[in-house]
Each structure stands twice: as C-alpha cells, then as structure tokens.
Amino acid sequence: QKEVEQDPGPLSVPEGAIVSLNCTYSNSAFQYFMWYRQYSRKGPELLMYTYSSGNKEDGRFTAQVDKSSKYISLFIRDSQPSDSATYLCAMSGSGGYQKVTFGTGTKLQVIP
Amino acid sequence: ETGVTQSPTHLIKTRGQQVTLRCSSQSGHNTVSWYQQALGQGPQFIFQYYREEENGRGNFPPRFSGLQFPNYSSELNVNALELDDSALYLCASSFNDRIPYGYTFGSGTRLTVV
C-alpha cells in the first residue's frame, strides 16, 4: 500500500463548477499537508498548505484536513479553464528534516 | 536572481551511459531536493542536500548521486542508466530544510533512456 493515495482521474468539469479533489494517507506522522498544481511541461507550484487538522481558505481554494480519517481535500469554487492542470497532494512530518511524499496527481480539465 | 532553473530541458541517453543534470537555485536557498517523476506519477524523492551535505535520501540506488555547490547550484548524477530511469527530474530549492512547504520547483529535465 502506498503512503499516499490519490485518484488519478482524469476529471472533466464545466466552467463554474465546484471541484473536489481528495487524498488518503496511511502515515500517522504526517503533519504538513500541501496541494500543488502542475501545468504541462512545468514543475509543481504550491497552492496551499495546512498544518495538522482543519480548514484553510485562499480565494477560490479551500483545503481541508481530517487527521482522524487520514483524509485531505481541496475544493475549487467557480472553476476556470485556467485551473486545468494536474493537482498533487503532498505530505510531510515535522521536527527536523522531513521528506515530502506526493500523491500520483489528479488531472483536471475545466471545459469552457 | 529569482526562480529555479534546470538544464538541459530534454536529454536522450543510451542504456548504460552516465548523465549529469544541473540546477540553479534561488539566491539564499541553502537546501535543494531532487525528485523523479515518471509519466502519470507523482514526484518521488531522490535525495536532499543542505549546505553542501546530503541530509536525506529516498529509496534510490547509489548510482544516483548528487552535489551541491556554494554558489546555489547543484547536480544530479546517474550512472549505468536503465530504461526505467526515463522520467522528468525535478529540482526544488528552499531557504530552510525544516519547512516542507517552502520549496520552489524548477521546470525539470525530461530524460529519455533508449
């Protein structure tokens, strides 16, 4: 079993839709939870991060972490064609050096 | 200088050959991590360098090695290339090795082994 599981999609939605992206994980030591966006032929760019459980909102994006269920989500409101990309969840422990473990990524297409 | 730059952008090598990939980090970033991203997969951690010393390594064999230089540049070397080494190699730099969300990624080097 992989430490981080993510539905690869692809996910296709109409412009304006609410998008829900999810990951599950098995490592209880994970404390930092991150979402990256990766456009074709580019490196990942950080969208949001959360420490421990809870919600965090940034514009149209909301990240949720439920450590009791080992489940994290990213919601995108009013999705735009420019949101079309691959979304990667990533996780890490805390305290000293910690490597970052990525999910496989979900490919999202927002159709105008 | 801002951003992380990687060179070359694309590379084709023959099985058994050796390859060196290069990364130029943002000024002031003393930590660099290298990742391998196979097609349709997420990035897999290869290793990390902090102030020119390797301080973490993923599940990759010793034929994957690296160097970090004082001028914020670094290298990833792969010996005895195998077909499965074909992937996008990503470099990520940060000013602090204790902040996992602080990394800036380059656009990567696409390596094809034939």
Mean pLDDT confidence for A27-31: 93
Q: Residue type for A102, please?
A: F
Phi, psi at residue B4, to the nearest 5°? -115, 125
pLDDT digits (tens, 9 = 90+) for A92-108: 988 766 789 999 999 99
User: In the prediction, which pLDDT does B2 show?
Assistant: 62
Nearest-by-CA chain B residue for A43: B107
pLDDT digits (tens, 9 = 90+) for B1-50: 468 999 999 999 999 999 999 999 988 888 999 999 999 999 999 999 99
Sign of CA dihedral B91, B94, B97, B98: negative
Task: Kindly calculate the radius of gyration of chain A based on its CA atoms and give it in whole angstroms.
Answer: 14
pLDDT digits (tens, 9 = 90+) for B61-109: 999 999 999 988 999 999 999 999 999 999 999 888 778 888 899 999 9
User: In the prediction, which pLDDT does B1 show?
Assistant: 46
- The string over B42-58, giving b where at least 16 C-beta atoms fall within 10 Å of a residue's C-beta and e elsewhere, is bbbbbbbbbeeeeebeb
Is B56 close to A6, i.e. CB distance below 8 A? no
Best residue in B6, B25, B101 for a mutation probing chain A (most A CBs within 10 Å): B101
Q: In this complex, is the C-beta atom of A75 within 8 Å of any C-beta atom belonging to chain B?
A: no
Q: In this complex, is the C-beta atom of A46 within 8 Å of any C-beta atom belonging to chain B?
A: yes
Q: In this complex, is the C-beta atom of A42 within 8 Å of any C-beta atom belonging to chain B?
A: yes
Q: In a 3-state reduction of DSSP, which class is residue B6?
A: strand
